[in-house]
Chains A and B, each alone.
Chain A
Amino acid sequence: MTDRRRINGPPGGTRPPIFASSLESTSDIVAERPQRQRQPNELRKIFLKTGLIPSASGSSYLEFEPSTSLSAARSKPKSVIPPSSSLKLACTVHGPKPLPRSATFSPNLVLTTHVKYAPFAGRRRKGHVRDASERDLGVHLETALRGAIVAERWPKSGLDITITILEAEDDRWWGDAPDSHDAAWGMMNVLAGCITAASAAISDARIDCLDLVAGGVAAVVADETAGRETTSQLMLDTDPADHRSILSACVVAYMPARDEITELWLKGDNSKSSVGTDNRGLGHEALIDGAVDAARGAHSVLAEAVRESAQRFAGLPSGDFT
């Protein structure tokens, strides 16, 4: 069944390009595997700006700093295959607006969230219709935000939050064969970015919130460093392309002022790491604490962006402190 409302490609379907270097498993591409250049607790820089979409009541744009391997590949391109990618997304908030007539009475603000990848966001082309993972992200985002918004202030109204992901994070390094039981780790970074961006857009739309929710990711990774045995380590703000194997990861939506977590998503099995090494520091609690630390870092960026938004709203020139 073809989609009559869109322009469809060739009816027989097309195949993504296959690169010669991925067919022959040579050692030289293994050498190109990107390495994490940051400290375990060092976060990537976040670019966050509000109010770029004037037709929406609130909007924000978020971008992660490209990794060193990616920026090196940008400045001196050698291979057409990008080594890793950096998250780029735009978020818009429409509302509060009256609910449609057909809707049932609601004493609270009705929150709807939509997360959609652009077809060109990932290594593989995405479809135009939202798939399960995108709907999943939408639900996670809704839980994260619902706890922060003071919903009783707007009875009978709705709030639409739409996120368009222009560039997603990789789930693993491209040279590794996609493992069937390997989880979509990139999705967790995307969710953390979505939470931070949505929070900025909501405050840009002047919706009352308990606090600014920020998203953070931490993961337990097992990296083979040369010559040594595999050690598990807790890393904040992991880029899945940098690591050979991620054992477990956690994303939180965290409100620093109230020290509350509105959304917690833990994935993976870290029993292996904590049993084998007798290391108590890698349990679930450590993982959650790490994610909270990452969220604290994102919160400082968020607060700055929201202050900028407030200054624009008050008609002050940006950078003017009052």
Chain B
Amino acid sequence: MASTAADSTAQAAPTAPPSLILPPSQFARLQPHAYLLAHLSPPASSQQPSLRANGRSPSQFRITSANTGSLTHTNGSAVVRLGDTTAVCGIKAEILHTEDIPSWSVSHSSSSLASNKRRKLTSPAENLGADREDGSEETDDDDDSYIEDFSLLVPNLSLSTGCAPGFIPGAPPSALAQSLSHQILSLLRSTRIVRSKDLQIWYQRPNLGREELEVHNEDEQMDVDVEQDRSGGATPEPREIKAFWVLYIDIMIISLAGNPFDAAWLSVLAALRDTKLPRAWWDVDNEIVVCSDLVSEARKLSLRGLPVASSFGVFEADAAAGWRAVLIPDAEEERKIADSERKGIRRRWILADPDGYEEGLSLERVCLVVDRDQGGSGEVVIVKLEKNGGFAVDRKELKQLVEISAQRWEDINQILGQC
């Protein structure tokens, strides 16, 4: 897609001395704002559609690809390419023994609450008991405080991989890297995507005369319960959590060309879907947690939903918008805006998935994380909505953005389904 601005210089080319001709790439560097504006608002006579400098329409995302499971030493890994932005995510699981948690013995192991809850979760049949009224509808959120309390999910994003000239390798993480890491952490927590149940390693204390070390085998657990009931509950607290899996989620941004958050989050999502944890049990003799190395016994994480992030940038036609004082438009100005829009003059464009060039030109950012209700209705759920840097995007636009994000969710769902 040739730029209109560059076209005009090209037409003047035969008469002008060659030194005045600017190739589009240099014009883009010298006058970035005018360059993008010329692309987005082509003259009406040219019959050209309003396209961005990279050839995409305003609501179009870059070509996205994902590949999982290619790294050998990880429990789950993914490479995600969002145009020229590349994120590699590797998840390594390690074990946190409860004896290493300072507050554990005080708060959890002595109280029978946790094990009570646990039994309630594993055997829903017991929920029919009349005295338990809370566990019926949200069966699996009781223990999720473990993830936050003991920081079982540890995401870290690294930009010092030479991904862009600005980041010095070897230096401590930049402000951007820190904020991205924290955004991913808070999103992991607020979406509750990983179930605490998957990360717990249980120990079944053997009954007298019976040697049984069992973790996570639910059928057997129920049998045990039945047997215990029969024997009159010889041990009051037969199961206890001995350890947790801790997922170290490390994201390396290998190449940065705008919108690192979407790429990083998508790579985390794909890697979590790929993650397999080996079967683990408490070995009484050695007093350690031992894992089975059989692939057939390893199990995948059962994730809650598929929250997909889509970011947007707002490009203002007014080049001075960046440094002018921001005022809330009054009624008269609103009318002026409406007038100009009727005449077909647009003042701003909302650009989906901005690349590095567009990110530098947009002040206002919107980040939407949406999911679809898996329950059956398929309704769009807004998991997170973050907007900063201005007030150009109001309710009407936000509704459109949610629709675009819902469409994006479909695409991502398809991409992740294929890998």
Contact = CB atoms under 8 A, between A and B. Distances in A.
Contacts of A94: 162, 165
Contacts of B86: 52-53
Given A128-B156, A167-B73, A56 B162 contact: yes
A209 interface: no
B156 A92 contact: no
Interface in B91-106: 91-97, 100-102
Interface residues of B, number: 63
Contacts of A286: none
B278 interface: yes
Contacts, number: 184
A51 to B, nearest CB: 11
Contacts of B316: none
B28 interface: no
B292 A167 contact: no
Chain A, interface size category, equals 35 or more
A118 B88 contact: yes
A289 to B, nearest CB: 32
Contacts of A17: 93-95, 278, 280, 289, 291
B291 A19 contact: yes
Interface stretch (A3-11, A103-111, A210-218, A258-266): A3-11
B149 to A, nearest CB: 10
B114 interface: no
A307 B293 CA distance: 45
Given A23-B286, A120-B92, A120-B250, A55 B181 contact: no
B301 interface: no
B210 to A, nearest CB: 21
Interface stretch (A40-48, A83-91, A143-151): A83-91
Interface centre among A13, A121, A162, A166 (most CB of B within 10 A): A166
Given A10-B101, A114-B169, A125-B94, A54 B84 contact: yes
A166 B255 contact: no
A139 interface: no
Interface in B224-265: 246, 248, 250, 252, 254-257
A137 interface: no
A101 interface: no
A12 B160 CA distance: 27
Contacts of B169: 114, 116, 160, 162
A290 to B, nearest CB: 27
A119 interface: yes
Interface in B125-156: 150-152, 154-156
Contacts of A85: 72-73
B173 A6 contact: yes
A188 B246 CA distance: 31
A20 B292 contact: yes
A193 to B, nearest CB: 15
B178 interface: yes
Interface centre among A53, A85, A122 (most CB of B within 10 A): A53
B72 to A, nearest CB: 4
B197 interface: no
A81 to B, nearest CB: 5
Interface string A114-143: 101011111101001010000000000000
Contacts of B94: 9, 14-17, 125
A120 to B, nearest CB: 3
A53 B254 contact: yes
Nearest to B83: A54
B291 A160 contact: no
Given A10-B96, A14-B246, A160-B162, A82 B73 contact: yes
A290 B294 CA distance: 39
B240 to A, nearest CB: 18
A55 B164 contact: yes
Contacts of B84: 53-55
Contact of B289 (A18, A59, A161): A18
Contacts of A20: 290-293
A103 to B, nearest CB: 14
B288 interface: yes
Interface centre among A53, A78, A85, A120 (most CB of B within 10 A): A120
Contacts of B96: 9-10, 12, 14-15
A79 interface: yes
A6 B72 contact: no
B77 interface: yes
B295 A79 contact: yes
Contact of B90 (A8, A11, A81, A118): A118
Interface in A44-86: 52-56, 59, 66, 70, 77-82, 85-86
A164 B250 contact: no
A120 B77 contact: yes
Contacts of B255: 52-56, 59
Given A53-B254, A79-B295, A123-B73, 10 more contacts: A7-B155, A15-B289, A20-B290, A53-B86, A90-B254, A93-B162, A120-B92, A128-B158, A164-B161, A167-B71
17 contacts: A5-B178, A8-B154, A9-B94, A17-B278, A19-B290, A19-B293, A55-B84, A56-B162, A56-B163, A79-B294, A80-B278, A114-B170, A118-B158, A120-B71, A120-B91, A162-B162, A164-B162
Interface of A: 5-21, 23, 52-56, 59, 66, 70, 77-82, 85-86, 88, 90-94, 97, 114, 116, 118-123, 125, 128, 130, 160-164, 166-167
